[in-house]
Structure 1
């Protein structure tokens, strides 16, 4: 294990925020990453991260080290990629996706391509208008939560990754639910709890109630906000309960600020699609599509 390997591992942890994410990016096990970090910290005589269930928070020494070594390691990576037959990327790729997914998964996977010269223009929004923009030539690729409708026959969709949805609320909300009644009549057991929703039509919540309870939610609605991160914030503040993808709520579940209110033998899933126009894609667009598909194999259900 050379000093360069140790520094490379450190930089991945620093940029990705956790040892697990760094291990996935490097293609090694989490214990291997932990061991490499321990060796580097021993060599430097200082801690580089404060570790918790929510990830790895850099220390001041880590910030200093990342500033010093980051540009040099990036330059070495680009040179090695070019020598290995992966030339620097050229061009701009216009991507459409939901803001929450972009922050949590898309940008960590694609940002390294910018060091090879690729320019990313990302538009945040709902799948339906993003797909229309793609069909009209305004975007090159969309990470969509729905399959393109038949009328957009110029588009082609590839199943990408599955989102796993959880019904969550605060511990206070959980204590207000009778577990026996929840098992016998979940709709009635949960009906007193207000809903925090992404849209007035309750799209995610309504889908969960229909698939798991064979019913529409009778609950009152307390907050409507068109951003799942804001929905999460409102639920943690005890404004109500909601349904969110696992990748978004897992840190709050691990911290104990939220609890899963209902469990099923088979978790409800929603497939995300990578959508492009049916015509042959430009090399930069194909590079982005291929990279996302490769990264998705390490994520599991989101």
Structure 2
């Protein structure tokens, strides 16, 4: 059975998205964190993170392990007094965001705050719908993929998402390599798309940014969850555009391949949005500041 120290180190890596950031939070060296992660992976018999210049992306096994052990590790830390002497938090903070970023990054970063008494109420959905709820007072904070246009809302840039055009390895064999290099949109035009919504929001933005026009590919599958989009691409349903933080574990495992390599990767900024002029809520301030601190450690998505 893995020791508490190994699991605590694992959770810091998972929550910060970086071995160096985890080492800083734990007050140890990065080689020490690397060694502890290696021992844990050896005991479990499976890789937990895919390391790159962008940080450490959790594998599905890591996400499952974090969900299982985090309440117990945090509870033990509190019981033995290993947490900092931070004041308790009172009240409820209602937050909203896209299911994918909330699951992989936002909620793991905020989960330790519940040990101080904070209650989180989470709504998952599309940015525009959530911003309306924030504007009307039904939410306190939204992590938004679009900058709010409502004058009553204040938005602070949080982190940049990097997008990749990916497909199943089997699909690459049907595309001429030289044509893919010199005229990628034309080379890929016959391959079906897997998309998030009917309007192809993420795919369309990538095509316009990189190729100067909308995609002409047939659409094979629509599903309103990027994790499901990735699963469909892995299964061979088609090609798609996904944020790096979701695609990277599958890329490293060879379940998908990157089809296009732009000189400057397309980015989209995520914002943390709140209402202007609302009474000061200490718990909301802590949540917002914790997200901004965590995003600085992520370095990008």
Q: TM-score range by the shorter chain?
A: 0.7 to 0.9
2:45 aligned counterpart, secondary structure: strand
- The residue aligned with 2:7 is 10
- The residue aligned with 1:258 is 256
1:115 aligned counterpart, secondary structure: helix
- Whether the aligned pair in 1 keeps the contact of 2:14 and 2:108 (CA below 8 Å) is no
- Whether the aligned pair in 2 keeps the contact of 1:209 and 1:216 (CA below 8 Å) is yes
- The residue aligned with 1:291 is 290
**Distance verdict in 2 for CA 1:98–1:271, change over 3 Å:** same
- Whether the aligned pair in 2 keeps the contact of 1:9 and 1:22 (CA below 8 Å) is no
- Is 1:124 aligned to residue 124 of structure 2? yes
- Whether the aligned pair in 2 keeps the contact of 1:95 and 1:141 (CA below 8 Å) is yes
What is the number of residues matched between the two proteins? 283
- The residue aligned with 2:44 is 49
- The residue aligned with 1:111 is 111
TM-score by length of 2: 0.84
How far off is 1:215 after superposition? 1.0
Larger radius of gyration: 1
CA distance in 2, matches of 1:125, 1:68: 29
Spell out, residue by residue over 1:259-278, the C-alpha distance to the aligned partner (whole angstroms, 9 max, x if none). 00000110000000000001
- The residue aligned with 1:274 is 272
- Whether the aligned pair in 1 keeps the contact of 2:91 and 2:118 (CA below 8 Å) is yes
What is the RMSD of the two structures over their aligned residues, measured on CA atoms? 3.0
Moved more, 203-212 or 181-190: 181-190
- The residue aligned with 1:44 is none
How far off is 1:33 after superposition? 1.2
Spell out, residue by residue over 1:219-272, the C-alpha distance to the aligned partner (whole angstroms, 9 max, x if none). 000001111111111111100000000000111001001000000110000000
Q: Within 5 A, what are the aligned runs for 1:153-164?
A: 153-164=151-162
5+ residue gaps, structure 1: 1-5, 42-46, 59-63
CA distance in 2, matches of 1:269, 1:186: 19
Q: Within 5 A, what are the aligned runs for 1:165-204?
A: 165-204=163-202
CA distance in 2, matches of 1:259, 1:161: 25
How far off is 1:73 after superposition? 1.6
5+ residue gaps, structure 2: 51-57, 63-67
Show structure 1 runs of 4+ deviating over 6 A: 64-69
- Whether the aligned pair in 1 keeps the contact of 2:95 and 2:139 (CA below 8 Å) is yes
**Distance verdict in 2 for CA 1:137–1:170, change over 3 Å:** same
- Whether the aligned pair in 2 keeps the contact of 1:19 and 1:30 (CA below 8 Å) is no
